[in-house]
Amino acid sequence: MAEEERANAARVYDYMLGGAHNLGSDRDTARALLADFPWLQRIAWENRGFLARAVRFCLDQGVEQFLDLGSGAPTVGNVHEIARARRPGARIAYVDIEPVAVEHAHELLAEVDGVTATRADLRRPADVLASPGVADLLDFSRPVAVLVVAALHFVAPDDDIAAVLAAYRSVLAPGSLVVVSHGSADQDDPELAAAMDTITAVMAASETPAYSRTRRELADLFADDPGLELLPPGLVDVTAWPAPEQREPVGVYAAVARVP
C-alpha cells in the first residue's frame, strides 16, 4: 500500500469523531478497530471533551492565544470554535505534519481571520516557531496556551519529548499554559492496561505508530522542568480533569501546567 494510502491516526481520529476529513484506508482501519474494540470511540470523545474543557480553562486564565501541536484536521469540537464562542478575537495556530489534514484545514479556514494551519513537525520546535503561520500570528510576549493533546504518544521513544516540550516552554511568557494528553498502558485496571497495549500493537502497522509511556515518565515531564508548574489535579485520566467524575477511565492521562 502506498504511503499516502496507509491509515493515519489523525484521520482515523477524525472519523471516530464523526468528521469528514478522512480517506478510505482510515475508515477501513477505524471500522476494523471499532468492530473489535467499540470502546475506542469513547476514548476519542473523552479526549475531545478534555480538549474543550482545557481550552475554556485557558480562556478563564486570560489566555486567548493557542498553539495546537499535532492538531490534525480542525474536526468536530475544534479549538477555534470553542475559543471564539467566548473570545471572538482568540488566535489559533494549528500545526500538523500530516499533509491531508493540513490541506483540509486550509480549506476550512480560508475565510477565517486569526486562525492558521501549518504543516510542520512538532518535534522541531525551531521550525514550528519560525513558520509564518505561527510567528506572524501569535505574540509570544503575551501568554500562549500550547496544546499537545493526543499527539505526544505518536513521538517515538528515541525522540526526547522532554527536550521538545522544554523548547516550546522556553519561548513562553509568564502565565502561559501547556496542555498535554497521552495514552498509556500503565493503568491500575489490568483490563484497561491490556486494551491500551492492544491499541499500541494495532497502530504499529499504521503510518503513525503510537508509543506508550508510564505515568512516571509523563509526570517527570513536568516535575523535571522548573519552568513549569503542574496545576491541580495533577496528572489524571482525561475523564477526571479538572475534577473527578463518576466515569470509567479511558487510559489517556491529562495534565495542564503553567509557566510561573
Give the Cα separation of 32 and 17 in Å (integer). 16
Contacts of 113 (CB under 8 A, 6+ apart): none
Q: Can you give the pLDDT at residue 27? A: 83
Interval 141-159 mean pLDDT? 94
- pTM over 0.85? The answer is yes
- The whole-number pLDDT of residue 227 equals 95
SS3 66: strand
Give the pLDDT of residue 175: 98
CATH of the domain at 174: 3.40.50.150
Condensed to tens digits (0 to 9), the pLDDT of residues 189-246 reads 999 998 889 888 877 777 778 899 999 999 999 999 999 999 999 999 999 999 887 7
- Position 75: which residue type? T
Q: How many domains does the chain have?
A: 1
| DSSP 8-class letter at 251 | S
> Taking a C-beta distance cutoff of 8 angstroms, is the pair 69, 94 a contact?
no
Residue-wise pLDDT for 61-77, tens only, equals 999 999 999 998 766 67
Tell me the pLDDT band of 162, cut-offs 50, 70 and 90: very high
The rounded percent of the chain whose pLDDT value lies above 70 is: 93
What is the domain range of residue 53? 3-258
Helix, strand, or coil here: 53?
A: helix
DSSP for 183-202?
Answer: E-S--SSHHHHHHHHHHHHH
- Cβ(144)–Cβ(169) below 8 Å: no
